[in-house]
Amino acid sequence: MIAMFGKFVKGVAIGVGLSVAATVAQADVITGLKPASPQPAASALKPGLAVQYYGAKLNSIREFIEWMEYDKGKAGPPIPQLNYQVGQGPVLTATATDMVGADITGFINFERSGPYTFMVHSNDGVRLTIGDKMIYEDPEVHADRFSDEITLEISEPGWYPVRVLYFEKKNTSTLELYWDPPGPEEVDYVPTKAFAHIGK
């Protein structure tokens, strides 16, 4: 697994001209994640993840959380997939190119039980929570960089709550989520079919 992700990350780093490659290390397996209870009805689910945008000059996820206590933000178009490395263009599905905070919520579907290994590629700050557990945080302003491997042991298939807090301060923006699910699939972006949110 480490070799597979390491080869993948090295290839991506070379492809986009990153000056520093990620350090890939085997982390402890995260267990005890809780699926949504009750499970959302199929008729209520809409594709992608819901997002609330905030216009703010932020330096950390902590500042973003404090900002959200006083600002309700504005709903944006759903995010189909976390596969954004857009340089100086619009941040995610927003129209702004700088000073954007995004509170991204919905569900991620684990079709079968077993180990799922994730990696996060971000610029700037990010916090990822799945099944009521924070599984990754890189909370402050930084250039493009990958997380280490994050392995989740999923004991029960189904839809799990997912929340991503993310902000971009200025210049370039990146938010990508990769996984290696159990089975023959190779490392890739978490697919669009794995994300959903409750539609209005």
* 171 falls within a domain: yes
* 13 falls within a domain: no
* 12 falls within a domain: no
Domain with residue 154: its CATH number is 2.60.120.1560
Q: What is the pLDDT of residue 6?
A: 52
- pLDDT per position as a tens digit, 67-76: 999 999 999 9
* 108 falls within a domain: yes
Range of the domain at 179: 29-198
- pLDDT per position as a tens digit, 123-133: 999 999 999 89
* 74 falls within a domain: yes
Residues 164 and 12: beta-carbon distance below 8 Å: no
Q: Is the pLDDT of residue 140 over 90?
A: yes
Number of structural domains (the chain) is 1
* 169 falls within a domain: yes
Per DSSP bridges, beta strands 49-55 and 133-138 are unpaired
- pLDDT per position as a tens digit, 9-27: 544 543 443 433 333 334 5
Q: How far is CA 63 from CA 9, 56, 125, in A?
A: 30, 10, 11
- pLDDT per position as a tens digit, 93-113: 999 999 999 999 999 999 999
Q: What is the pLDDT of residue 82?
A: 98
Q: What is the pLDDT of residue 1?
A: 44
Residues 167 and 94: beta-carbon distance below 8 Å: no
Q: What is the pLDDT of residue 27?
A: 53
* Strand segments (E) across the chain: 45-47, 49-55, 74-79, 83-87, 100-110, 114-123, 126-130, 133-138, 145-146, 150-154, 158-168, 173-180, 188-189, 195-198
pTM score above 0.75 = yes
Output helix, strand, coil percentages for the chain, rounded to the nearest 5: 15, 45, 40
* 65 falls within a domain: yes
* 92 falls within a domain: yes
